[in-house]
Amino acid sequence: MTSSVDEWVDEVARTTHPDKVVWCDGSDAENEHLIGEMLGDGTLLRLNEQALPNCYLHRSNPQDVARTEHLTYICTDDPHDVGPTNNWMSPGEAYEKVWPLFKDSMKNRTMYVVPYLMGPTSSPYAKVGVEVTDSPYVVANMRIMTRMGQVATDRLTAGTTDWVPGLHSLSDLSPERRFIMHFPDRRTIWSIGSGYGGNALLGKKCFSLRIASTMGKQQGWLAEHMLILGLESPDGDVTYIAGAFPSACGKTNLAMLKSPFERDGWKVWTVGEDIAWINIGPDGRFWAINPESGYFGVAPGTNRKTNPNAMDAISRNSIFTNVAVTDDGKVWWEGMDGPVPEHLIDWQGRRWTPTSGTKAAHPNSRFTTPATQNPVISKHWEDPQGVPLSAILFGGRRARTVPLVYRSFDWEHGVFVGATMASETTAAATGAVGVVRRDPMAMLPFCGYNMADYWSHWLEMGRRASNPPAVFQVNWFRTDDQGRYIWPGFGENMRVLRWVRDQVRGSRNGTPTAHETPVGVVPTPEAIGARDLGLSKSDAETLFAVDREDWLREVEDQSEFLRKFGDRLPDAIRRQHQALQSRLTPVAV
């Protein structure tokens, strides 16, 4: 390897004291050997070999089942550079407080050195990381989620200097000694005390969002928590749409959508389902690549009806984390097809029956599966320049207030809509579930610098692009008085995608399909096909309603949030907020 990688690995090994150091090449043989070892020590359990060939179950420590946002830090000299929405620690304090936790943390363990590439192999936008970890489970997941091994090593030996070092150790898995640390100035990551998902697979949230967002700010591009899909219309044309929804709010499902209108020629192709890196092309459009090569998807709720493409993808070569198992070694989770089994082994390895009164699978249980197994993978998913975006959707879980879909008036208004979006919290992070919080651009836990500066960067990107995407907000999660979701969601979201395409490419038949409201442009119920769906009149009304009182409360809550950013808040955001307020306030006559 290059001398700088060697030096860093030596330095880490001198502190963490592993038994041995293994440099990973990403080969099948290496993977088989690792899997064998993990089956041997119980880290992995083999699933039914006929039904789920080469699939494994991992049960994580019950104290380590989701990202831990309160233990996630951005380390800069000046606390103002991380802003009010991030946890800050000075690099000096990090060295004093967190570095010592790595001392001897890999004793009696193997240290794996994992070079990986984020982005298609031939893409000029792809970037190299090197993760050092003492978790073979992390290595096996990184092998699915990133282009790991030789392809990355080749870039390093070819002289890439801006590679991102990431140090990861399970240590004792204690939440008291758990820290997820980011040093944007040195483009370095340290993670200790967790083996789970976004805390431990450092290529994902730590590099591709937190560190990459700071690179993007400096270099003029965007690292976003977005799915990317291609919407094929009956004329065979494909419109690319990106969508930023917070964790566990529907990105994977929308990106893999199975169209109910396939026979009419409407179809979705997946480019990415969690992260997008966006550059401005020579044509003045936004071009997006998916830096990942696999899906780390939410298991509960996934079934043949909601997401048949995912069910096909995860039927082989996949790792399941914290799901339940049936007597015949198949996987099970809440929302799985068919009747609930009489007994199961739950996510913690305990006997479970329908009367147990607990969830059999953890609500944040996940599958890790290679992107290439997705039956609707886009043939452009590895295009080096990415795909050109016509629209960006911002979406969240909102029981009230936000209609099914609306379009923003222009780029500046669209950035404001993203900046002020909110969503109910989910099991993807530890803490209370179902609490509405502001989650700008679905990046609240992932933006590596001051969110106000990030909005300035978004505004600037729109000014630089001659043809930026149109911006929409969507909400699949509006409920009625009984708390039931009004909108059927999943495949039926195709109806919203079709309307979005009409908005950006021109209507199909010239009849009016939308009307203007104070918050944005809302479709007519007919344009979505509310009647074909059998929605009652009152449900359809609720779904498309923009209630003045609700929105005035929303504006009030937005004020409180925006105030936190003080002088750093871009004028354009302040202006947009005032403009929304005055559109909502009837003029006295």
Contacts with ligand SPV, residue ranges (CB under 6 A): 67, 197-198, 204-205, 247, 274, 296, 428
The whole-angstrom separation of Cα 537 and Cα 540 is 5
**Which lies closer to Mn ion via its Cβ, residue 147 or residue 205?**
205
Q: How far is the CB of 528 from ligand GTP (least distance, A)?
A: 14
Whichever of 72 and 188 has its CB closer to ligand SPV, that residue is 72
Q: Which among 384, 440, 424 has a CA at the least distance from the CA of 564?
A: 440
Binding mask 420-449 for ligand GTP (x = CB under 6 A): --------x---------------------
CB of 180 to ligand SPV, least distance (A): 10
Q: Is 224 in the site for Mn ion (CB under 5 A)?
A: no
Residues in the chain: 589
Residue nearest to Mn ion (CB): 274
Q: Which of 392, 369, 165 is nearest to 276 (CA)?
A: 392
How far CA 382 is from CA of 126, 129, 244, in Å, comes to 11, 19, 20
Known active-site residue 249: yes
Which entry of 24, 55, 206, 249 is annotated as an active-site residue?
A: 249
- CA distance to 191, 205, 246, 363, 386, per residue, from 180 (Å): 4, 11, 19, 22, 30
274-303: contacts with Mn ion (CB under 5 A): 274
Buried b (16+ CB within 10 A) or exposed e, 172-193: ebeeeebbbbbbbeebbbbbbb
Residue 439 as a binder of Mn ion (CB under 5 A): the answer is no
Distance, CA of 336 to CA of 338 (rounded, Å): 7
What would the x/- binding string for Mn ion be over residues 228 to 257, using CB under 5 A? -------------------x----------
- DSSP conformation letters of 536-556: -HHHHHHHH---HHHHHHHHH
**Does 490 contact ligand GTP by CB under 6 A?**
yes
Which residues does 52 contact at the CB level (< 8 Å), separation at least 6? 315, 316, 318, 329, 330, 331
Q: Does 250 bind ligand GTP (CB under 6 A)?
A: yes
**Beta strand residue intervals within 487-572, DSSP E:** 514-516, 521-523
Comparison of 75 and 244: residue with beta carbon closer to ligand GTP: 244
Is 64 an interacting residue with respect to Mn ion (CB under 5 A)? no
User: Least Å distance between CB 446 and Mn ion?
Assistant: 8
> Residue 401 corresponds to which tokens in the numbers above?
């207030």
Which entry of Mn ion, ligand SPV, ligand GTP, none binds 198, CB below 5 to 8 A by partner kind? ligand SPV
Contact 139, 34 (CB under 8 A): yes
- DSSP-assigned beta bridge partners for residue 352: 344
| Of positions 153, 247, 368, 542, contacts ligand GTP by CB under 6 A | 247
Contact partner, 67, from Mn ion, ligand SPV, ligand GTP, none, Cβ < 5-8 Å per class: ligand SPV
Residues 131, 274, 292, 539: which binds ligand GTP (CB under 6 A)?
Answer: 274
Residue 140 makes CB contacts below 8 A (sequence gap 6+) with 31, 34, 35, 38, 44, 319
> How many chain residues bind Mn ion (CB under 5 A)?
2
Instruction: Provide the 10 A C-beta neighbour count for residue 315.
Output: 14
Give the interface size with ligand GTP as a residue count (CB under 6 A).
22
Q: Which residues bind Mn ion (CB under 5 A)?
A: 247, 274
Sites of contact with ligand GTP (CB under 6 A): 245, 247-253, 273-274, 297-298, 300-302, 306, 428, 476, 485, 489-490, 493
Active-site residue set = 249
